Amino acid sequence: MQTSVVVRIHPQEAMVFGKGTPLLAGAVIAACVVLIGPSAPGDALFGRSQPVDAVKDVVPNRVMTWNLCNPCETSDVHRAAEIAKYAPQVIGLQEACVRDVESIRDHLENLHGLVYHVEYGSVLRNWGRCGGAPWNPGGYGQALLSAAPMTDRVNVEYPDGGSEDRGYLAVTTTVGGRSVRVFNTHLAERRQEAVRAKQTGVLAAAVARHDRAIVIGDFNATPDAPELTPMWELAADADPQCHPAPGSCETTTDWQSKFDYVFLRDVARLDHRVRHSPYSDHDLLLADVG
């Protein structure tokens, strides 16, 4: 009599088959590959797990900015876990692919009990950065996640992106129980000071139209860089000790430079912190505001 067959469908678990069933084993394995499909290591399986380390709610007055690093071989499960440690109300991501952001949002909800709305600020469609079909590459740029709904979305591509298209994303949402305009940007790469100066001029003109604003992102410039002058004239850094002077600000990158900012315009600063992450060449920058 044919013995029974027991299959545990998990790549790290053993499969026990009855005698004489190698063909069935191969068929089951092939079916699993088709069902799971390509993904970052562990993402699909973790996505089916029950919530772990659940958080009751986000911190309602906390904002965060993080350059994800792209291209980097990093699981979205790990990225979501880094974000969930601090549970910000608003999260600004740079070098973000649409598919990665969708995955991060799903992991935040399924694994950590954190539910976010998402708006995308893609300024580039790039197969090398974000994959996808060669004729339909993935969107790349900025993204904003907010626990509260977002309205009045504006996505602007700078007239000159430098060596790669760049822009800013802006929305109106709620932080600390109050409505505020939030901007998320990524300026031109290093050694492109003149391009960044033009980009900052475009951004600052938009920020100046709002009485209350939070501007977050990767500016690719140190605090004393002349191209950041328009931002310093409009807003203050979330760190009260950080000024446009050499050495006055905590660094935010693996190469020990401050390139990431939370600028506050008529928004009170309560606390800030920089947290190193092994999953990006940029640190997580967080600010609690009033």
**Which CA distances in Å does 270 have to 88, 134, 149, 231, 240?**
14, 46, 24, 20, 9
What is residue 171's predicted lDDT score, i.e. its pLDDT?
98
pLDDT value, residue 55: 53
In the numeric block, which tokens belong to residue 254?
Answer: 């693996």
> Residue 163: its pLDDT value, please?
92
Residues counted in the chain = 290
Question: What does the block give as tokens for 11?
Answer: 């790549």
What residues pair up with 64 in beta bridges, in sequence order? 91, 286
What per-residue confidence (pLDDT) applies to 127? 80
**CB contact at 8 A, 220 and 205:** no
* Tens of each residue's pLDDT in the chain, 290 residues: 444 333 333 333 333 334 344 443 444 333 433 333 333 433 433 333 344 454 568 999 999 999 999 988 899 999 999 999 999 999 999 999 999 999 999 999 999 999 999 999 998 887 888 888 787 888 999 999 999 999 999 999 999 999 999 999 999 999 999 999 999 999 999 899 999 999 999 999 999 999 999 999 999 999 999 999 999 999 999 999 999 988 899 999 999 999 999 999 999 999 999 999 999 999 999 999 99
| Pick from 179, 238, 189, 237: nearest CA to 210 | 179
What is the distance between the alpha carbons of residues 276 and 16, in angstroms, rounded to a whole number?
43
- In angstroms, rounded to a whole number, what is the distance separating the alpha carbons of residues 98 and 138? 7
pLDDT, residue 50, reads: 41
